[in-house]
Amino acid sequence: MNFRPLDTGVIPGSRPLSGRRRGIRSGEALSWAAAMVFLLSSCGKPAPVSGPPGGAKSAQKLKVTTSAVESRLIEYAVEAVGSIEPLEEVSVPARVSGTLDSVRFAEGDTVTEETILAEIDVEKYSLGVSRAQADYDRALSQCKLAETLYANRLQLYEEGRRQKKEWVTEEQMAGWRADVEKAKADAERARVDLELARRNLRDAVVRPPMPGVIHRKQVSKGEYVKPETVVATMLNVSTLRVRFMVNEMEAARLRRGDEATFSIRSAPGVVQRARVFFLGQKSDPSTRAVECLAEVQSPAGDLRPGTFASVRVVTGKRPSLVVPERAVLPTDRGFVVFRTDGKKAASVRVTLGLRVDGTVEITEGLAAGDIILVDGAPSARDGMEIEVVEPK
């Protein structure tokens, strides 16, 4: 290559350099020129490629465990979380006003319809019955007197008509007849007052409306209560129910009469049985869930209302192909499983169904008896050589 000599002259219009500075400038130019010549001379020569000593190293096989695709009977089930409920939960109110003479119950008591829970001013209401009885007896006497007087005057009136004499006028007879009707009305009103007084006396003794267990005591002796004051709350635990919610799709698979199983945390491993008797006809607008109720068939252990329950309802069974769940790999082209002939791996796209106890149902892509990779599958590639080892 031809190099153009460096111009060491003075630039026009500038001050001339001293001899020392000009010599330094010329030396620097020669050093740069020598560096350029070295770089250009080294261009175009390939860099040596170093390789491993002893030649190329053979590829290492991927160690994997395998499993055969099984055909198994799969249960299609609806699973949900619910709660145990009593058949009924009611409040026992006071029906009359007054002071509580006595309170004869405590939380947890088992009661019947004849059990006396409390008494409210029983003596006052007993006196009220006696007064109402006296008023009724007096009204009956007045009624009988009015009827007797009317009957006697009616005979006199009829006898006067036969003799064509006016001993008793029509107007007088109408008045006496009205007295009889008034006496009858007074007697009826007194009878009703007596019935109300007797009812108040019965209500002064508070009894449960049904058999059950006292859940909460809400009054004390000497307390003044009014009608509808809650004396106690009680539970009817003769029959227990399980209330649970399922989504719209699962609700379509349920039917009345389906058998359900459930378990509670306080009794792990104990499976209880129930039967579905109610399916909500309307889904919740916010959650799109449908309410369901199942009646407990044979309670075992200590089932308490309000306890959470894990509910499972089997809606069908059918034979299906299953593989270990960890053998299924998500990819950008869907779920795949690596099938093998014992030497190499080959990916197969599959369609999944239900997941059951660490396995997953395969609805498309595999056949019964196919050998697939399990442990080591995430590191496999199509055509990769494998070495099957025993699972740990």
**What is the identity of the amino acid at 122?**
V
> Does residue 108 fall inside a structural domain?
no
Encode pLDDT of 13-23 as tens digits: 444 434 333 34
What pLDDT score does 267 carry? 84
341-350 CB burial, b ≥16 within 10 A, e <16: eeebbbbeeb
> Does residue 373 fall inside a structural domain?
yes
Nearest alpha carbon to residue 220 among 115, 111, 100, 119: 100
Contact 352, 361 (CB under 8 A): yes
Encode pLDDT of 354-367 as tens digits: 888 789 999 999 99
- Do 129 and 164 lie in a common domain? yes
> Does residue 129 fall inside a structural domain?
yes
How far apart CA 347 and CA 361 sit, in angstroms, is 17
Position 83 pLDDT exceeds 50: yes
What pLDDT score does 195 carry? 97
**What is the identity of the amino acid at 320?**
S
Domain boundary among 286, 317, 348: 317
171-175, 235-239, 293-297: which is most confident: 293-297
Contact 359, 322 (CB under 8 A): yes
- Do 149 and 179 lie in a common domain? yes
Position 7 pLDDT exceeds 60: no
Q: How far is CA 180 from CA 54, 60, 150, 174, in A?
A: 137, 121, 7, 10
- Do 283 and 346 lie in a common domain? no
Domain boundary among 317, 352, 374: 317
> Does residue 279 fall inside a structural domain?
yes
What pLDDT score does 85 carry? 93
Half-sphere exposure of 257 (CA within 13 A, CB side): 0
Domain boundary among 317, 332, 361: 317
Contact 299, 272 (CB under 8 A): yes
**Rg value, the chain, Cα:** 51
What pLDDT score does 104 carry? 95
- Do 300 and 268 lie in a common domain? yes
Contact 18, 39 (CB under 8 A): no
> Does residue 287 fall inside a structural domain?
yes
Q: Domain of residue 167: give its range.
A: 122-203
Instruction: Say which DSSP state 378 is in.
Output: G
Please report, rounded to a whole number, the percentage of residues in the chain having pLDDT higher than 70. Answer: 84
Encode pLDDT of 302-318 as tens digits: 788 989 999 999 988 88
What pLDDT score does 162 carry? 86
> Does residue 146 fall inside a structural domain?
yes
The larger pLDDT score, comparing residue 157 to residue 231, is at: 231
- Do 326 and 311 lie in a common domain? no
> Does residue 323 fall inside a structural domain?
yes
Alpha helices per DSSP H over 70-214:
122-162, 170-203
What pLDDT score does 59 carry? 59
Nearest alpha carbon to residue 296 among 332, 270, 331: 270
CATH of the domain at 68: 2.40.420.20
Residue 351 backbone phi and psi in degrees, to 5: -115, 130
- Do 356 and 284 lie in a common domain? no
Tokens of 354: 């239900």
Number of domains in the chain: 3
> Does residue 349 fall inside a structural domain?
yes
- Do 300 and 356 lie in a common domain? no
Q: What is the pTM of this model?
A: 0.58
CATH of the domain at 283: 2.40.30.170
Contact 221, 66 (CB under 8 A): no
Encode pLDDT of 211-262 as tens digits: 999 999 999 999 999 998 999 999 998 899 999 999 988 899 899 999 999 9
